[in-house]
Structure formats: C-alpha cells, structure tokens
Amino acid sequence: MSPSGKEEASFLDKLQQRSDGRNVNPALGTLLGEGAQQRVKDLDGANPARTLPSRSEVASADAPSYHGLAAIKQPVWIATVPAYLFVGGVAGAASLLGLAIDVLGEEELDPLARRCRQLGTVGDMLSAGLLIADLGRPERFLNMLRVFRPTSPMSIGSWVLALSGGLNMVGLVLGRSRGVLGAVGKISGYSAALLGMPLAGYTAVLLNNTAVPLWQATRRTLPLFFMASATASAGSLLSLFPHSPREAGVLRPYRLAGKAAELAMGYAVEHDARRAPEVARPLDEGVSGTLWKASRACSVAGLLVDALPGRQRWKQVAADLLTTVGAVTARFAVFHGGKASARDPQATFRPQRQGHGAAEVVPGHAVASDGKPFSFPLPVVR
C-alpha cells in the first residue's frame, strides 16, 4: 500500500505491463522460499530493455539465443545408422524390382529376379544387424515389435523391416518349389516386394519426425530423395554382377531413372533446407558439408558416365561405383548434418521466428477432440 492509499502494482503485474515475453499469470504463480522476500526497487536496472529472442529479427549468427547453448540434444546414434539407411533402401528397391520382373513374366529374366530377391534378403538381414548394433541389445529390437502404432514412423518402420526380411527369406527358400509350398513362396516374395518402397523411404520419415532442424526442414523432399537414391543404388549394384544383354536392357533404364531422380531430389532437399541459412549451414561447412558436396559430385559423374554412348564394361562399372559411393556419402552427410544442425541454436530458433515448421502446417488443419480447430493465441513473429 502506497502513502497515498493506493495499492501498488506487484512486481509480476509490472512484468506483465512491460510485456517482457514471460506472460506469467499471477493467479497461478506462487512465490515461495528465500528468493520470494526480495524486492526490486529499480525495475529498469534489474530487467534492462533489450531485444527479446522471441521477437528478434536479427539474421546474423550472433542473434539472441539461450546463452548460445543448443536448444535441443543432438542424436546419439552411431555410424551404423547411416549405413542402415543405405542398406535398407537398397534392399527395398531391389525387392520391388524383382516383383516388376516377375510381372513381366519372361523366363529369360528369372535369374535377375532371383538376384533381386537375394539382394533384398541379404539387405534386410544386414539392416536388422546394423539397427541392433545401434540399439545395443537384440531384445530392444524385439521390444519394438510388441506394439503396432500407425502414428509412429519408428513402429511402422520396425514392422516393415521385420516383415520384409521374413517374407523375403520365405520367398527365396520356397520360390522354386511346386504346389502349395511354391504358392506360399511366391505370395511371400510378392508381399515383401510391396514393402520395398516403404522400406526405402520410411527411414527419411523417421528422421523428419524429430526436432532436428535440418531433418525437419526437409520433410517434404528427403523421403523422395532416399527412395530415388535407393533405386539408383540397387540398379547400380545389380549391374555390377554378371548379367545377360536382356537383363542389361532392364537394368539400364531402371538405374538411369533412379540416378536422374536422385540428382533432382538432391537439389530439392537443398532448396528446402536453404529457406533458413542457419539450417542449411551443415550442407556447406564441416564434415557434413564435405560429404554432401562429394555425394552430389559422385551422383552427377555417375549419371553422366552412364548416359554417355558406348557399352564398355569399364564405363558401366565406373558409373555404378560412382553412384554407389554418392548414395553412401549422402546418407552420412544427412546424418552428420543433422547432428551439426542440432548443436546450432540458431538453426532451431531462426526457422521458428520465420514461421517455419509446425506453425505453417497446423493452423486450419489440426482439430481438437471437440471438433473445433486448435487455437494459437500467440502469433508467429516474422
């Protein structure tokens, strides 16, 4: 109470009047402990006016952040994860190609279809091993299969990998049998092939479903890039094995289409990331930047060498090796780039200040349990 008899505004009320961004509701907040007895006589001195991080429009790397500390934790995955991203994609694309060859129904292409199933089966087994190596214990992978959650990319991916590996194995063992066993083998092989594209692309969806800025910013294009890269890699690896001229007539357009799509989607990934310079920084700097540039160079070289006239064996081998190296380095570039992006606080804050991320897709689409759209009282500051 002031000498004039008027009730003075509390410290929290003054903070609300100053609108410092904390928006504390005095009715819900209770001050307890020794610190509650402190009184601030000079509000301006205790809370000097400065640019608030939530309202900053500074574009430099020195923009306000939480003491320069990372806003999120970087992934703790090890190097087996990007290897799994590559191997799983190749397995899925190879299985799908085997189904397409079976649909053609040419007996001359049966050896190629069998090699596709073999590559898919081996890839599925290696993928499970690489994933278990990151998890640490095999039972952790089995625990992921205890439930099936359609809204979880990790749950869907675990079931896709498990089913693809099991069905591919059954199809490979029983595919040449006759009678009922042969029918079971064919159905199993076809079912595994249908899981090929989800297996090739779900890993990117899994990355996009995190809070890592680089992965989140490329959620529209990274799955397509992974699927295109898997197609190019599977066609290149199958082309490295001895094959007949008729098989070459199938493999060449398949891998060329994958290489062209991979190159186009790689530029699309860069375009999405560069909406915020801080998010795209890992693609230009450091280990991840070097790997990404190397992968783009290998992909361009692989496509050009493969598209040149002539059918020399050395030229095809060189093109396929370049494409494979480009696909592997691209997975490691995305992996390390995500880690670097998580360590950079501006990569997290800057897109939010620009209204990127969930804020650009949720309003007008999300609906609460009562059927009414969710409300966002705090506008996105641009």
Q: What pLDDT band is residue 210 in, cutting at 50, 70 and 90?
A: confident
| pLDDT for the residue 295 | 95
For residue 173, the tally of other CB atoms under 10 A from its CB is 14
Q: Are 155 and 141 in contact (CB under 8 A)?
A: no
**Domain ranges within the chain, ordered by starting residue:** 80-346
Given a cut of 60, is residue 15 above it in pLDDT? no
| pLDDT for the residue 367 | 47
| 248: Cβ contacts below 8 Å, ≥ 6 apart | 239, 311
| pLDDT for the residue 169 | 85
Given a cut of 80, is residue 69 above it in pLDDT? no
Whole-prediction pTM: 0.75
Mean of the per-residue pLDDT values of the chain:
79
Distance CA 335, CA 130 (A): 15
Average pLDDT over residues 127-150: 85
Higher pLDDT, 327 or 34: 327
Given a cut of 70, is residue 49 above it in pLDDT? no
pLDDT tens digits, 316-361: 899 999 999 999 999 999 999 999 998 888 888 777 766 665 555 4
- Of the given ranges (42-46, 120-124, 137-141, 225-229), which has the lowest mean pLDDT? 42-46
Given a cut of 90, is residue 228 above it in pLDDT? yes
The answer to whether the Cα torsion of 316, 318, 320, 322 is positive or negative is negative
| pLDDT for the residue 193 | 83
| pLDDT for the residue 54 | 43
Higher pLDDT, 356 or 60: 356
| 46: Cβ contacts below 8 Å, ≥ 6 apart | 40
Given a cut of 90, is residue 195 above it in pLDDT? no
Q: What pLDDT band is residue 63 in, cutting at 50, 70 and 90?
A: low
Distance CA 266, CA 253 (A): 20
Distance CA 27, CA 70 (A): 32
Q: 80-346: what CATH class?
A: mainly alpha
Distance CA 261, CA 76 (A): 31
Most confident option among 116-120, 192-196, 356-360, 372-376: 116-120
Higher pLDDT, 175 or 268: 268
For residue 4, the tally of other CB atoms under 10 A from its CB is 6
| pLDDT for the residue 26 | 58
pLDDT tens digits, 245-289: 888 888 999 999 999 999 999 999 999 999 888 888 999 999 999
